[in-house]
Amino acid sequence: MKEKDLIEFTNRTTLETILVEIVKLHKYSNFDELYKHFDKVSLGYDKEDIANSNDMEIYYPKKEQEKYGVIGIGIRRVEKKK
């Protein structure tokens, strides 16, 4: 992945799709560091939620974070060409 790449996401329940462009890749050694640099809403939490970097361990165990690091992907929605 690199900046300006396009990604299409599909909701598996509704089959709705959205197209996004990568605007920035944010590289960190682990999610603790990433969470220090972004507000919780930009990380996908609701305003009322408590953001905790340990939430990501379901997907990326600490050992994998230590081995590979982590990347936050900044995106913006783009219109699909018809």
The whole-chain average pLDDT of the chain stands at 95
**Segment 29-57, tens digit of pLDDT:** 999 999 999 999 999 999 999 999 999 99
Pairing of strands 70-78, 6-10: unpaired
Instruction: Tell me the backbone φ, ψ of residue 29, rounded to 5 degrees.
Output: -75, -25
Tell me the C-alpha distance between 55 and 70, whole Å. Answer: 14
Tell me the C-alpha distance between 11 and 69, whole Å. Answer: 27
Is the confidence at residue 81, as pLDDT, over 90? no
User: Are the beta carbons of 28 and 69 closer than 8 angstroms?
Assistant: yes
What is the structure's pLDDT at 82?
64
Q: How much of the chain, in percent, has pLDDT values that exceed 70?
A: 98
- Domains identified in the chain and CATH numbers: 6-78 (2.30.130.30)
Tell me the C-alpha distance between 21 and 25, whole Å. Answer: 11
